[in-house]
Chains A and B, each alone.
Chain A
């Protein structure tokens, strides 16, 4: 219910806002949000990636549906498929939800996921379901609002550090949520 309320109001609560966000500007991708059932049976919200196709922008548009094609398992350590390999080092633009890896309203390290499934006590996502984002400068943390991140994607399996995809983030903006 709180999720719905937050979405309906589009309100980030008392979180610290950047100047652009204070002015109500949203420069991220246009995206539709859908309600889903998480692996633990709880309700989550996720990006409807088919709604992103109309919005390519200047950078290479990337979706989580591409990233999950690498069926990575730590024990087997399979090589990345060609469509994923060719993304290594490319500047990409991807929309998702933030999962913070540090405290505070302005964060530099976070994971970007297609859904909010890890919120609260949700299960750990698979390696191929998220990108570890390291921003050059701190960005405003959004818990339940989608953001569009632009940066250099590195395909570098580092399960000992907990990720296989890493992004050297340059910019992170509020996505524009479109109606159904």
Chain B
């Protein structure tokens, strides 16, 4: 009789442990579920949502509008480019504007690039941001529509930009098919004031196949070799550090890539 009771006690004990475990799992699941949506504002997520139209109605709406109305939809497409907060929608709008190719759209596109160098801007800047991806897309579209001098305006304000904005400039000049691209990229490297802009410059040079830049790059490599990290402005060491060893490695890779393309052609 006592043995029977003992077995039952063990079973009840095991059952309660099992129940506790299940309850704990359920609790963890509920906490995880709650945590996923508890914080964050809708505007913060708008640029990062899935590109799939099933989850992005404005993106789908823009395509439907363009397919249905074509060029007539241009004002609405331009508005989406400027006003929409979702960068996927903005980038799609830029693509459609490039397809419609109405010269009247050029000021709208230039206005998007101008966000980089205006005195007052409210966007996010730097190569890792969705805003940059949109500007890059717009720059490609502008290059195909052919005003040709947007790069000049970006370059004229280059010196007054902060580090994050400067790092976008080499990519944008390249996308804009700037006629003075190589002179300006060489100038960024010669100035030697901003590390991220210099890295971006080397990155852009590596995308091209201009063999004429090779002697300049080799001279820069020789200049940087053996240097460690130094402030760009010795009078104000807080400003920006230049990591010469990283630049040397990057410059070497750039030279290899250009040489490779030369051999290929």
Determine if A109 is an interface residue (Cβ-Cβ < 8 Å).
Answer: yes
Interface digits, B134-159 against A, CB 8 Å rule (1 contact, 0 not)? 00000000000000000000000000
* Structural contact, A161 and B119, CB atoms closer than 8 A: yes
Measured between C-beta atoms, what is the minimum distance from A45 to chain B in Å? Answer: 13
Determine if B85 is an interface residue (Cβ-Cβ < 8 Å).
Answer: yes
* Structural contact, B41 and A120, CB atoms closer than 8 A: yes
User: What's the interface size class on A, roughly?
Assistant: 20 to 34
* Structural contact, B122 and A40, CB atoms closer than 8 A: no
Q: With A and B bound together, what is the CA distance between A124 and B162 in angstroms?
A: 20
Q: With A and B bound together, what is the CA distance between A30 and B186 in angstroms?
A: 53
* Structural contact, B122 and A41, CB atoms closer than 8 A: no
Measured between C-beta atoms, what is the minimum distance from B249 to chain A in Å? Answer: 27
* Structural contact, A163 and B119, CB atoms closer than 8 A: yes
Determine if A97 is an interface residue (Cβ-Cβ < 8 Å).
Answer: no
* Structural contact, B42 and A40, CB atoms closer than 8 A: yes
* Structural contact, A40 and B43, CB atoms closer than 8 A: yes
| With A40-B43, A40-B85, A41-B41 as contacts: A121 and B124 at CB distance below 8 Å | yes
B123 surroundings in chain A (CB, below 8 A): 124
Q: With A and B bound together, what is the CA distance between A125 and B120 in angstroms?
A: 11
B257 surroundings in chain A (CB, below 8 A): none
Interface digits, A110-151 against B, CB 8 Å rule (1 contact, 0 not)? 010000001011111100001010000000000000000000
Neighbour of A111 across the interface among B39, B85, B120, B163, CB < 8 A: B120
Determine if B231 is an interface residue (Cβ-Cβ < 8 Å).
Answer: no
Among A38, A111, A122, A162, find the residue whose CB has the most chain B CB atoms closer than 10 A: A162
A101 surroundings in chain B (CB, below 8 A): 119-121
Determine if B46 is an interface residue (Cβ-Cβ < 8 Å).
Answer: yes
Determine if A160 is an interface residue (Cβ-Cβ < 8 Å).
Answer: yes
Determine if B118 is an interface residue (Cβ-Cβ < 8 Å).
Answer: yes
| With A102-B162, A121-B85, A123-B85 as contacts: A43 and B119 at CB distance below 8 Å | no
Determine if A99 is an interface residue (Cβ-Cβ < 8 Å).
Answer: yes
B121 surroundings in chain A (CB, below 8 A): 101, 162
Determine if B106 is an interface residue (Cβ-Cβ < 8 Å).
Answer: no
Closest to A131 in B: B120
| With A40-B85, A121-B47, A123-B85 as contacts: A161 and B41 at CB distance below 8 Å | no
11 A–B contacts, CB within 8 A, in A order = A38-B43, A40-B41, A41-B43, A120-B41, A122-B43, A123-B43, A124-B123, A132-B119, A158-B119, A160-B118, A162-B119
Give the top 8 A-B pairs by smallest Cβ distance, nearest first.
A42-B41, A162-B120, A40-B43, A162-B118, A161-B119, A124-B122, A163-B120, A121-B44
**A contacts, CB < 8 Å to B:** 1, 38, 40-43, 99, 101-103, 109, 111, 118, 120-125, 130, 132, 158, 160-163
Given contacts A118-B122, A121-B43, A162-B121, 10 further A-B contacts (CB under 8 A): A1-B39, A38-B41, A40-B42, A41-B42, A43-B41, A111-B122, A120-B41, A121-B47, A160-B118, A162-B118
